[in-house]
Structure 1
């Protein structure tokens, strides 16, 4: 195919899954990284070429210039795939410039960032009748009295800008069991200049977390979708998927499709919902605007979302499709799942017997592939190297 795909970031398995799922269909990929070139995602046999660029976090102008240079060097516009939230924010920030050199689904500059930021996402959700957890801003009057009366403890402090928060604190939220912990959390965020809000915790274990994965084509219609349910995440209770099953939940599409079409969304997205264990209602938690960590699972379950996006962008869209059944497939990121299992058992949230029983499922690994073993071997070598350094230092 004439149009190539440019993948931003191969230091994590999301970038690897983009390369693989496009490679399965014969699409040539170019990976762009700013760190050490010895990254496991770049070891895939499906990768066409690997280009190093300036650090986009420190040298944004130079990074943009490098992307323009790469786009200009191609005869046909490449399709651009950010593999992580900071890349998606960068693309959104420079959307009008980058669209001159790349095929990018989003039309409305700033919308990706708006849905990534919790405050603006919650506002859009409420305006469209979608449930979100009750929230109080730190600058509102009688904050602590209201938290105690309206939200209760424990509660959580969440950032409006998740990538910036995670880069500082290496966690997605602050969990507060009382007023003193809430005051400490707000102080920490304030010292770092990060905007946060206080939110009620929707009751329910981690297996009450669901995803609605979808693609909105250039005409603004959802053409492809399926749903999944988290079984374990890391860090536990407020982390990322490490053991997740594909399961059909039609209510998520009934909520998600009209919402994303109404707000003018374009491209791939993933809405995370939590089901209230007491009422059975689904609450919107966040939207991922880049390829999901579950990408390989979605492919195995029946939809190659990266290829759907690619074909839509080059003007040769695939037929619409929804996976309206449960396949029984389970995604597993083994390294972090082991850590999660340890913590769940320590906290008494899961039993060893229950965990062992859950493992007898047909699994989709995050990194390992018998047909593309290079990344897996490189990943194991890197992890073992880090472990040995800790042991002998």
Structure 2
């Protein structure tokens, strides 16, 4: 029976990496986007079809109906991939409606969204003995005293709902150096009807951030995993990865695998940790309940996570694999890495020589591929248009 792979979102390199991971193995890949604008991932030679669909937020019910009707017309149930957080939340909110028509890793509606909720994740991790940064909620009794005594300054004000916060403020967090700044940040979030918490900043440069990337089968058992170490991110210190190397750290497995299995997780998960520069202890920062930005790196290192999901959900054996060695391969999103590198140099946190040497490492680019160059050309054209618009405007 033929099962198409439906990829929600091709206007970001995560969608592109999913298309490549599946298309190179002959799967019929379908990119569904609400607009053709900036969908450079759809230019991949490994994409079979692109369909313009209703907007996931502005026409939510219409998109659900469209997906159901699309599935009804297919020979077999398509495998559904949500490539960015808003699509994860959409699928999670309508999982019970979509599950009869699509093959999806998760089986419990609302689970993904609860994992993405920072307050719930904090409670869950604490219950299972996983270390987290000290956190205080603004509604707690003695809130300001706790911030001063337990959190300290500078600290971060972070959302419980990251996708909504990012779409509202175009930032992942607020960094606060004083209590007045904390009050202002909390008020700003409350005025936008967004819930936030105040959290301690774990000491350590950006290379103290690590990831545990794993696949859990339908029995919630870790079958495949590897670990990575961030080097640079954008914005610096509290942003998304722009340069990350694969780095074997067994301790991340001993912390992450039992936790994910205990909470009944299924499918791909990425836990982000930070290693305390003073104590050497690892703290859980967040869980990405979707294909990660590092997917091209994971694939190049030998584990094709989208293909694992596709194969398991369509009834094939997937075996097991753990990468317990260093490959020397690094993920690089050059466009943003050049911007962040400039800031690191300005702050005297890295030297030009250190950054230049890193570019000679064997790389897994976010967009570029010699075998599939069209998306990179389309991405470059898109960026040039943005630059021109900014200069003219």
Q: What TM-score, normalized to structure 2? A: 0.98
Q: Give the match for residue 15 of structure 1.
A: 15
CA deviation digits over 1:163-182, x for unaligned, max 9? 00000111110000111111
**3-state DSSP of counterpart to 1:357:** helix
The verdict on how the C-alpha distance between 1:324 and 1:122 changes in structure 2, with shifts beyond 3 A counting, is same
**3-state DSSP of counterpart to 2:101:** coil
Deviation at 1:72, TM superposition (A): 1.3
**3-state DSSP of counterpart to 2:325:** coil
Residue 331 of structure 1 contacts residue 364 of structure 1 at CA under 8 Å; is this kept in 2?
A: yes
Measured in 1, the distance between the counterparts of 2:10 and 2:131 equals 35
Q: Give the match for residue 76 of structure 2.
A: 76
Q: Give the match for residue 362 of structure 1.
A: 362
Measured in 2, the distance between the counterparts of 1:330 and 1:190 equals 39
Q: Give the match for residue 28 of structure 2.
A: 28
Measured in 1, the distance between the counterparts of 2:354 and 2:7 equals 38
Residue 157 of structure 2 contacts residue 197 of structure 2 at CA under 8 Å; is this kept in 1?
A: yes
Q: Give the match for residue 372 of structure 2.
A: 372
Q: What TM-score, normalized to structure 1? A: 0.98
Residue 308 of structure 1 contacts residue 317 of structure 1 at CA under 8 Å; is this kept in 2?
A: no
CA deviation digits over 1:116-145, x for unaligned, max 9? 111001111000000011100001122222
**1:1-393 superposed matches below 5 A:** 2-37=2-37, 39-393=39-393
**CA root-mean-square deviation:** 1.0
Residue 77 of structure 1 contacts residue 102 of structure 1 at CA under 8 Å; is this kept in 2?
A: yes
Q: How many residues align?
A: 393
CA deviation digits over 1:18-54, x for unaligned, max 9? 0001011111111100023551010000001111111
Residue 7 of structure 1 contacts residue 18 of structure 1 at CA under 8 Å; is this kept in 2?
A: yes
**3-state DSSP of counterpart to 1:47:** coil
Measured in 2, the distance between the counterparts of 1:337 and 1:120 equals 32
Measured in 2, the distance between the counterparts of 1:129 and 1:182 equals 28
Structure 1: any 5+ residue segments left out of the alignment? none
